[in-house]
Amino acid sequence: MITLLTGISSSAAALTAERIRMEVISQNIANANTTRGLDGKPYQRQHVVFETALRQQQGGAGSFGSPQAVQVSRIESDNRPPRLIPDPSNPGAMQAVPDVNIHEEMADYITASRSFEANLAVVKNARAMAMQTLTIGK
């Protein structure tokens, strides 16, 4: 396949990774108050783990100095224990609710969104540069 936009696969990988992260965050926020999930326990917050996959570059120098593509290696459950709050229906007893902090989730969401926008800008830029290259000699 012709690759006229160099590095486009790295950007595509980053866009996918950030999108997955935003989906996981949305899921966390949606389930912030789920006290009883399918397994009977409160919802366990999840997060994504990023890792780099080395991209093959022609004439590349090896592991250092080569462009790298990011990918989501796994979506794993947090091991934070559920919070305990007073049970509204049972005075005196405590209820376990998911340890999802909305502020933290929103901050992560904004970071992911910013990274997503930046990678989109890179793709746009690559296209503009390729179009410029095609005008050489005209």
Partner 1 sequence: MNPISAIRQFVMPEARPAAVVKAMSDSTVAGAVPFNELQKLGPGALQQPFSSQPAGGSFGDLLGQMVNEVGAKQTAAGDAIGGVLSGQGVPLHQAMIAMQEASVSFQLMVEVRNKLLESYQELMRMQI
Partner 2 sequence: MINALFNQPNYLATKKMLDATVLRQEAITSNIANLETPNYKRLDVAPSFSSDLRQAIASKNPTQIENLRPHLIVDSAAFSPKRDGNTVQLEDEMLHLNQNFVEHSLETQLVSASLSRLRMAITGRSG
The residues of the shown chain that bind partner 2, judged by CB under 8 A, are: 6-8, 10-11, 13-14, 17-18, 50-52, 55, 57, 61, 64-70, 111-112, 114-115, 118-119, 121-122, 125-126, 128-129, 132-133, 135-138
CA distance 126 to 95: 53
Q: Which does 83 bind (CB under 5 to 8 A by kind): partner 1, partner 2, none?
A: none
Q: Residue count at the site for partner 1 (CB under 8 A)?
A: 11
CA distance 67 to 58: 11
Q: Is 136 in the site for partner 1 (CB under 8 A)?
A: yes
The nearest distance, CB 59 to partner 2, in angstroms, is 8
The secondary structure of 53-113 as a DSSP string is EEPP-TT--SSSSS-EEEEEEEEEE--PPPEEEE-SSSTT-EEEE----HHHHHHHHHHHH
Q: Is 128 in the site for partner 1 (CB under 8 A)?
A: no
Q: Which does 52 bind (CB under 5 to 8 A by kind): partner 1, partner 2, none?
A: partner 2
Amino acid residing at 40 = G
Distances (CA, A) of 128 to 11, 12, 121, 133: 15, 17, 11, 9
Q: Which of residues 22-61 bind partner 1 (CB under 8 A)?
A: 58
CA distance 118 to 138: 32
Measured from the CB atom, the residue of 2 and 38 that comes closer to partner 1 is 2
Q: Which does 78 bind (CB under 5 to 8 A by kind): partner 2, partner 1, none?
A: none
